[in-house]
């Protein structure tokens, strides 16, 4: 801009000098000189204005180009953003044939949230930038890498190496992302699950392609994470069925169609019925009575588990008020619920409303809840125990840090995982493990309950080892309130007969 102005001034000076010499040489009048100077001034002003306008237009074009580049690239990682990725994908889809020559890889990070929670957003940003660099390094020359948002990335790649080349690329991406990331003396680790969709002419638009890759990625998450899956039409059908079930689940929770069933818990070796565990059953209008495995996972993923659990607890407390005062009620609390700082207050409100004694309530938690946030779990468990509620560590033996949690937290009971109980009479090694758990509990002043008991031989062995309580289909399947009420005070033979009848039903 400054150079252009100096150039105009130089021209103006040269023209003035020439005009002055011309006037003197031809002895022209001052009036002519004035007119000439005015004409020259108009010309120079016009030239200057034209030049300045051209410079301004060029600067505007440069600014617009820079703004356009920013609008199509992720500010943090420098990769293409969702807008540019979808535009490029749409162009290539429009030019595609029925035989796929390109593919989309949707990359979703695993275990990214704990990095943010533990080390902060600066560490999270460092991870995202490192992942972006690794993706860029592995993206083929004709490909495009993008950050779609959050911890979700995508690649658009040619199928030069066929399906084998695509497999190698996906495996290479998973391995590269899994490599540790160094940040301020810490070693940060994340993983990746990848969904792949091939691009062909029969797809409606870019969003359809990306949706297919998303479905494949979701299948990979279900299959255990850290894997890649290629889209198949059956995935879409399954997802729609799941969405329908989720909608029905919301309605069922609101309407009370999910009700508590009760599985007997007996003393060992006396085999006296002393309590029950609360288990959910859904009376589905089409599919009949559904077990928890059909819907609890969906309730946890969608955030419905808290509402469902509290409704079940309230109904169970109302049901149990009519049972003997020594009769215990055990309820499961999902790991997600321990993120709720008001969990203890919510449980207390239900106990107060229903008039159910806290000393008759036992809350069962798994190690997953402890691993997610040990301090939050510690606070909640201590508050519940201060109310008189007892705490049981469920599925003991299935986690990887049980001894640490027994040391850090105060429990009242250990529940031995059914996978150990199933095989104690057939596997000497499993029997030794169960015996060790029972002795560990006794040494810590904890009572033990064995889950999944199905044979008299298991009962005899567990009783001999000192196990305090038993639970399983040998003593009774989960059943409604009326059936449990009828069994209280009855001999074991009648309880088992009822169990057989419910299993047959």
* C-beta separation of 477 from 499 below 8 A: yes
Whether residue 410 is preceded by a cis peptide bond, meaning omega within 30 degrees of 0, is: no
Number of Cβ within a 10 Å radius of residue 207: 12
CA 55/CA 155 separation, integer angstroms: 39
* C-beta separation of 155 from 144 below 8 A: yes
**3-class secondary structure, 375:** helix
CA 209/CA 457 separation, integer angstroms: 57
* C-beta separation of 214 from 106 below 8 A: yes
Per residue of the chain (505 residues), give pLDDT as tens. Answer: 555 554 545 555 555 565 555 555 555 455 555 555 566 666 656 666 666 667 666 766 555 555 455 577 898 999 999 999 999 999 888 888 777 888 999 999 998 988 887 888 899 999 999 999 999 999 998 899 999 989 999 999 998 877 888 999 999 999 999 999 999 988 999 999 999 999 887 776 888 889 889 989 988 988 888 999 998 877 777 777 878 888 999 999 999 999 999 999 999 988 889 999 999 999 999 999 999 989 998 898 888 999 999 999 999 999 998 899 989 999 999 888 887 889 999 999 999 999 999 999 999 988 776 766 777 788 888 899 999 999 999 888 665 555 777 777 889 999 988 888 877 877 788 888 889 999 988 998 999 999 989 888 888 999 999 999 999 988 888 999 998 998 887 777 776 676 666 655 5
Residues 369-396 as b/e (b if ≥16 CB within 10 A, e otherwise) read bbeeebebbbebbeebbeeebbbbbbbb
* Strand 191-199 relative to strand 102-110, pairing: antiparallel
Q: Which residues contact 66 (CB under 8 A, 6 or more apart)?
A: none
* Strand 186-188 relative to strand 181-183, pairing: antiparallel
* C-beta separation of 467 from 268 below 8 A: yes
Side-chain half-sphere CA neighbours of 106 within 13 A: 28
Side-chain half-sphere CA neighbours of 491 within 13 A: 2
CA 217/CA 476 separation, integer angstroms: 41
* C-beta separation of 468 from 362 below 8 A: no
DSSP state of 111: S
Taking Cα atoms as reference points, which of 290, 291, 307, 334 lies closest to residue 250? Answer: 307
**3-class secondary structure, 195:** strand
**Which structure tokens are listed for 38?**
């005015």
CA 246/CA 248 separation, integer angstroms: 5
Taking Cα atoms as reference points, which of 382, 378, 376 lies closest to residue 339? Answer: 376
Please give the C-alpha separations between residue 83 and each of 151, 167, 333, in angstroms, as whole numbers: 16, 27, 42
pTM, full prediction: 0.64
Please give the C-alpha separations between residue 15 and each of 47, 483, 496, in angstroms, as whole numbers: 13, 112, 116
Q: Where do runs of H (alpha helix) occur along 227-373? A: 233-255, 296-302, 305-320, 343-354, 367-372
Q: Which residues contact 420 (CB under 8 A, 6 or more apart)?
A: 397, 430, 433, 434, 437
CA 200/CA 258 separation, integer angstroms: 44
């Amino acid at each position: 801009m400054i150079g252009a102005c100096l150039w105009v001034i130089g021209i103006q000076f040269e023209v003035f000098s020439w005009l002055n010499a011309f006037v003197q040489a031809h002895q022209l009048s001052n009036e002519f000189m004035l007119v000439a100077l005015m004409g020259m001034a108009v010309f120079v002003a016009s030239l200057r204005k034209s030049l300045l306008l051209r410079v301004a237009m060029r600067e505007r074009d440069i600014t617009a180009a820079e703004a356009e580049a920013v609008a199509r690239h992720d500010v943090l990682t420098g990769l293409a953003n969702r807008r540019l990725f979808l535009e490029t994908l749409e162009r290539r889809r429009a030019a595609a044939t029925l035989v796929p020559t390109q593919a989309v890889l949707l990359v979703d990070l695993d275990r990214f949230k704990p990095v943010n929670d533990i080390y902060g957003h600066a560490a999270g940003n460092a991870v995202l930038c490192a992942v972006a660099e690794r993706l860029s390094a592995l993206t083929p020359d004709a490909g495009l890498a993008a950050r779609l948002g959050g911890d979700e990335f995508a690649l658009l790649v040619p199928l030069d190496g066929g399906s084998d080349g695509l497999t190698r690329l996906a495996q290479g991406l998973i391995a590269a992302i899994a490599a540790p990331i160094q940040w301020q003396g810490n070693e940060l680790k994340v993983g990746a699950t990848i969904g792949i969709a091939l691009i062909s002419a029969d797809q409606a638009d870019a969003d359809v392609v990306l949706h297919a890759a998303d479905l494949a990625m979701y299948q990979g998450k279900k299959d255990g994470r850290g894997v890649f899956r290629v889209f198949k039409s059956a995935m879409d059908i399954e997802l729609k069925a799941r969405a329908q079930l989720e909608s029905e689940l919301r309605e069922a929770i609101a309407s009370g169609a999910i009700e508590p069933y009760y599985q007997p818990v007996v003393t060992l070796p006396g085999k006296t019925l002393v309590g029950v565990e609360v288990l959910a059953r859904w009376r589905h209008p089409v599919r009949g009575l559904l077990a928890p495995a059909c819907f609890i996972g969906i309730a946890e993923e969608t955030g419905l588990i808290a509402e469902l659990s509290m409704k079940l607890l309230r109904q169970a407390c109302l049901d149990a008020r009519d049972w003997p005062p020594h009769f215990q009620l055990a309820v499961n609390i999902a790991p997600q619920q321990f993120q709720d700082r008001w969990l203890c207050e919510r449980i207390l409100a239900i106990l107060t409303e229903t008039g159910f004694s806290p000393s008759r309530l036992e809350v069962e938690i798994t190690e997953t809840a402890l691993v997610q946030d040990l301090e939050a779990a510690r606070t909640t468990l201590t508050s519940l125990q201060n109310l008189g509620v007892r705490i049981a560590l469920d599925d003991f033996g299935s986690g990887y840090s049980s001894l640490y949690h027994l040391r850090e937290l105060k429990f009242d009971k250990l529940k031995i995982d059914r996978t150990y109980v199933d095989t104690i009479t057939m596997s000497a090694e499993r029997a030794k493990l169960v015996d060790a758990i029972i002795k560990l509990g006794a040494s810590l002043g904890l009572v033990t309950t064995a889950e999944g008991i199905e044979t008299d031989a298991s009962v005899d062995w567990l009783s001999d080892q000192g196990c305090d309580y038993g639970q399983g289909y040998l003593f009774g399947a989960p059943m409604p309130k009326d059936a449990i009420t009828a069994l209280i005070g009855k001999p074991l033979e009648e309880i088992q007969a009822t169990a057989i009848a419910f299993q047959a039903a």
